[in-house]
Every structure is written in C-alpha cells, then in structure tokens.
Structure 1
Amino acid sequence: MCKYEDDQRTKLSPVNFLDFQLCRLASPVYDLSYFLLCCLPEEDVQNFDDIIKVYYKRFTSFLRELGSDPNKIFPFEELMN
C-alpha cells in the first residue's frame, strides 16, 4: 500500500492521513480547542490571545468570501465565551 515516485520503486511519495472520526457539524470552537490542545507547543501558550485573533481574522475572512456576515453568524464574543 505504498506509492512510489519512481519506476524502480526506491523513493516513496509523501503521504498525508486524514481521519474523519471526529467529523461533525459543531461550533468552530471545538476544532480550535482540539488543535491548540494537541499541537500548540508549551512555549507558544503565552501567545494564546494573538493566536486566537489570527484564527478569527482568517475564519471571518473565509465567511465573507462565502457571502456571509461573520458578525451575525459567529461574533468574536461568542468565540471567547
């Protein structure tokens, strides 16, 4: 079950695994919490507020691209509560 980049089968292609076990329709807070708790290095915890702001800025930008008003759908205050 490997994919090779060459015909001689000496170099493996990079692989990414995608696990849908936790896939559900829920608040984005669940995804953000899961990511931060699992992936954020301890030394970056001091930048938590900045990380949340960057996340929210990108998230709302994406909502606008979809034609939605982020302040109606998911205001920043709701994220923080």
Structure 2
Amino acid sequence: MPVKAQETNNVKDIRLIDFQLCRVGTPVFDLSYCFYSGASKALLSQLNYFLDVYHRSLSQSLKQFGLSSEVVYPMSVLKEEWKKYCKFGFFSAVTLWKLKLAPDEEAPDLTLPEDQVLDKFSSDNFVTEEYLQVVSDLVEHLKENNFV
C-alpha cells in the first residue's frame, strides 16, 4: 500500500492497490462494478455522461505519455465493451447492495470463517424492500439499454 508522508512524517495520502481480480482485460469490469454498486436510479440514466467523463480523463492521461485514446482505447470500444461486459458489474453490485443495505444488526461478521459468513449472508434477512428496489432499477437499466 503506497503511503505519501509530509516532511513531518504526518500521513498526507494513502492509496490501496487492490489485486483481487488483477488481470489484463477491459476496464469495464471495474467501471461497471463501481457504477452499478453505487449509482441511484437517477444516476443510472446518466451512464453516457459518466462514460464520457471516464474517457476524457483517460484521454488526458494517455496524452501525457504521447498516446492517443483514439488509437489506444477509443470511446466506441469502451461503449462496445460496456454492452458486452457490464453484466459482471451488475452481478457484483447485486451482491454488494445486499450487504450495503443490510440492517446493522444483521450484517455478517467478516472475521468469521468464510462458510459462516456466506451462510449468514445468504439469509432472507438481507432482502429488504430497498434492496429489491435497487435491483429492480438495475435490471430496468440493463433492459432499457439493451445490455441483456
């Protein structure tokens, strides 16, 4: 974990590098997971705006290295890959939303053995009205955009 400290040894910045699913592949896996696990229904309707923000940022970063995003990763490829791979983000988000919306007293103790956590997590206690609405909104978004 990279840590940046000031001269007084006070921590200025901490960055976590997550190698959980580290492999060569499309950024859509991470982007769709991030987007679908946090976006409200209103934000889901602004997907193209957020993809544009991502692509502009990528373009600026690539430009600093003398590269063109239109050669390395054009917006058209990002959108094609989103349509093909965003389902990964959807399925990941469905699981994460279940945990995020769980009542505090029902949240599993993640320090327990994996099988105990999974047993508790699979209970119906995690399926709330709010959770069902979020999942419904995600499914509706996928259908409206022909992602399924």
Q: TM-score, normalised by structure 1?
A: 0.68
Query: SS state of the match for residue 20, structure 1?
Result: coil
Shift of 1:18: 4.8
Question: Are the structure 2 counterparts of residues 16 and 73 from structure 1 closer, same or farther at C-alpha, using a change threshold of 3 Å?
Answer: closer
The gaps in structure 2 that reach 5 residues or longer are: 1-13, 81-148
Match for residue 59 of structure 1?
A: 58
- Identify, as 1 or 2, the structure richer in strand: 2
* Identical aligned residues as a percent: 27
Name the residue aligned to 2:36.
37
- What is the aligned partner in structure 1 of residue 67 from structure 2? 68
Shift of 1:43: 2.6
Partner of 2:21: 22
Alignment TM-score, normalising by the size of structure 2: 0.40
CA offsets 1:47-68 (integer angstroms, 9 cap, x no match) = 1111111111111111111221
Aligned length: 67
Equivalent-residue separation in structure 2 for 1:64 and 1:54 (angstroms): 15
The structure whose RCO (Cα within 8 Å, separation 6+) is larger is 2
Larger helix fraction of residues = 2
RMSD: 2.0
Separation of aligned partners in 2, 1:41 and 1:17: 25
